[in-house]
Structure 1
Amino acid sequence: MLHDKKKMLLSFFSCFFLITLVTLQSKIHARTPAIVTVNPKNTSSAGEIRSHRWHEFEKLRDAAKGSSVDGISELKRYFHRFGYLEAEDMRNSSTDLFDSNLEMAITKYQEKLGLSITGELDSATVSELMSPRCGVPDVAGKLHGAESYAYFAGRPRWGRKAPMRLTYAFSAANPIHASSLSEEEVRAAFRRSFARWAAVIPAAFAESADYESADIKIGFYSGEHGDGEAFDGVLGVLAHAFSPESGRFHLDAAETWAVDFGREGAAAAVDLESVATHEIGHLLGLGHTAVKEAVMYPSLRPRERKVELKMDDVRGVQALYGSNPNFSFGAFSESDIYSNGSVGEDEVIRLSLCLLLLFIMLCFCI
């Protein structure tokens, strides 16, 4: 009789354990939603991808600490530009020596961008270093629970009363130079980008014809353009925007900007709407995140489209401005909710219960 009860309890616990484990596993696997990358129709500008300045980092792959490799000095300048090497750590920046300061910068970079922390120039790290990206430094932001959203130093925000209304305008002196895009297509891409942020916070964005008085000023620039943040030509830095309440939003005029990869076949084409959505996040006060699927991740590869806000983006901006009264997290799919790539508190509890049940099962079997 006692033996039969043990068998029944063991069967019950076994079923419960398997159901719980399968549920947990399915949630974890749902955490990596696809990012759309459209292959080019032709490779006419593939040479531009290979020739942009950061592509030279390819030869640094697997370089070891203590070694001297041509191009290390350029990598040090890269890390200084994006906030990983301080000015005092740049004393040996003119040398190609892989020193301790560089190792520390690599470790910080890997931690910030959600890469495996090795302190080495492994394949994943070098691939990320070569990717086109936003020009805003990866300022160290305070982590918030399981999320990775960050803010600019001092956590600046627009000081308008909710619901706030911000105007934006395009520079007539610095328009986009893309023969394949009409003025309306460009404006429509920006309207959609602003609308995504307005859907989650109590804010409205309206285009203005008065550039000088607009809260947000948008322009396409080449090279040095007066803000100390020079653009570098095709790929490399794609755009940059400044923290509140500056409102300055600059895009690199040298890029092949696209709104439809089906129509734009260039291998080096960059999705305008994706970049606009990202930079608006900076204009609102968000820094870069370690969540690769999020809009506020710093890099964007050619022909990649990433325009939908993820939970990390939403929670970050709502911590600054509150929620749009009409917004509901229920609109997010499970893959959006778990897009931060980490196991949440509920899953940790569930996994702990599974282990406890397994222990009880073993006790009954003894």
Structure 2
Amino acid sequence: MGCSTFIVAILVLVSLHGASCRMLAADAGKERYVRADLSQLTGCRRGQNQAGLASLKRYLNHFGYLDSEGADEFSDEFNEDLEAALRTYQLNFNLNASGVLDEPTVQKLIQPRCGVSDIVNGTNLMKSGRHRHIPGVGHFVMHYAFFAGMPRWPDSQRNLKYTFSTDNQQYGAEQLRSVFSAAFAKWAAVSPFQFAEASDGEVADLELAFYSGDHGDGRPFDGPGTVLAHAFAPTNGRLHFDADEAWLPDATGTNGMDLESVAVHEIGHLLGLGHSADINAIMYPSIGAGVRKVDPNSDDVQGIQVLYGSK
């Protein structure tokens, strides 16, 4: 299949900032991503030159799959490096590692996802493939990952307080609190942590907020589409959601995004977890509209308990 005309929708410049989820991104040179109609590139393969491939390269660069060719110098050539980056992406997401932009790959690329990178400085965290043997049960492959340096909350902080620094126009205050209380409870059930909303005047460990576009942390949101939320590694404590997404308290079977599902994922980042290659894990990078996934699976539980021990 040939490539058709590709129209770039939005280019967003994202700069690295603080001890954040961007610790899982590669270097400061890998700081652009694109929200665009990638479906127009279906069928592209090595050797072709097609408008829009430069934007795809920026996307893959942003999530750690492709080294920078220089600031603003990504070309529209489907070269060997792009083919290799696509193969790695396809392996991470359990796709046919052909290096071709086939339909399943395009559908995964356009699926909403967390803004955390999958590869850091050439280290592919999603396919780390650690093995564990449980006597009498068998061998398991574990896909959980951590931030660089495995930052964690100190032993003295197991009762974390959270606060809402902005309102969300899609929810009343009580409904919003109910969703997040349920999300925090998922991690409290499998770790030593307890979570509670900070009272007036009380210092909070975690700050939750909804923002549109550029909101001052160097990582602007792109509107409905690619990046749903971003969080910061321990012990920064900030968690930001794109206010322009169609958030629903239960998005099952709809065109909206399930707020609790994304909240559980991002809280995992707040506690120190990176992304998992296990498609059933909470810490898997992407989630489709209308999908609800709120319960940590065995891979998530193993990861959080490596960091902090069992409940």
Question: Would you say same fold, with TM above 0.5?
Answer: yes
AA matched with 1:240? H
Shift of 1:211: 7.9
Structure 1 distance, partners of 2:55, 2:167, is 31
Question: Hey, what's the Cα distance between the residues in 2 that align with 1:314 and 1:211?
Answer: 33
The corresponding residue for 2:169 is: 177
Question: Following the alignment from structure 1 to structure 2, what is the Cα–Cα distance between the partners of residues 66 and 80?
Answer: 20
1:247-291, CA deviations, whole angstroms, 9 ceiling, x for partnerless residues? 1100001011101347xx962x11100000000011111111111
2:297 counterpart letter in structure 1: K
Structure 1 residue identity aligned to 2:161:
T
Shift of 1:92: 7.7
Question: Which residue identity does 1:110 align to in structure 2?
Answer: Q
TM-score normalized with structure 2 length: 0.80
Of the two, which has the highest radius of gyration? Answer: 1
Does the alignment pair 1:149 with 2:144?
A: yes
Do the aligned residues in 2 keep the contact of 1:170 with 1:211 (CA within 8 Å)? Answer: no
Deviations 1:10-51 (A, max 9, x none): xxxxxxxxxxxxxxxxxxxxxxxxxxxxxxxxxxxxxxxxx8
- Count of equivalent residues: 265
Quote the Cα distance in structure 1 between the aligned partners of 2:228 and 2:93: 18
Cα distance in structure 2, aligned partners of 1:112 and 1:299: 12
Check whether the contact 1:169–1:208 (CA below 8 A) recurs between aligned residues.
Answer: yes
Name 1:116's counterpart in structure 2: 96
Aligned residue type for 2:99: G
* Pairwise CA RMSD: 2.1
Q: 1:207 is matched with which residue: 177, 190, 197?
A: 197
Matches within 5 A, 1:249-260: 249-260=239-250
Once the two structures are superposed, residues 178-198 of structure 1 have per-residue CA deviations (whole angstroms, 9 ceiling, x without a partner) of 1xx321111111111111111
Consecutive unaligned residues of structure 1, counting only runs of 5 or more, are 1-50, 325-366
Amino acid aligned to 2:194: A
1:320 match: secondary structure: helix
2:176 is aligned to 186
Structure 1 position 118, deviation (Å): 1.9
- The equivalent residue for 1:70 is 51
2:56 counterpart letter in structure 1: L
How far apart are the structure 2 equivalents of 1:296 and 1:93? 33
The structure 1 segments of at least 4 consecutive aligned residues displaced by more than 4 Å after TM superposition are 51-55, 90-93
**Where in structure 2 are the equivalents of 1:226-265 lying within 5 Å?**
226-261=216-251
Q: Point out which structure has higher relative CO (alpha carbons under 8 A, 6+ apart).
A: 1
Relative to 1, partners in 2 of residues 1:234 and 1:212: Cα closer, same or farther, differing over 3 Å? farther
Q: Structure 1 residues 147 and 93, CA, compared in 2 at 3 Å: closer, same or farther?
A: farther
Structure 1 residue 156, shift from structure 2 partner: 1.1
- Structure 2: 5+ residue stretches without partners: 1-8, 11-33, 132-140
Q: Residue 205 of structure 1: SS of its match in structure 2? A: strand
Aligned partner (choices 295, 307, 311) of residue 308 of structure 1: 295
Can you list the C-alpha shifts for 1:149-207, whole angstroms capped at 9, x where unaligned? 11111111111247x11111100xx22121xx321111111111111111111111111
- Paired with 1:138 and 1:261, the residues of 2 have a C-alpha distance of 26
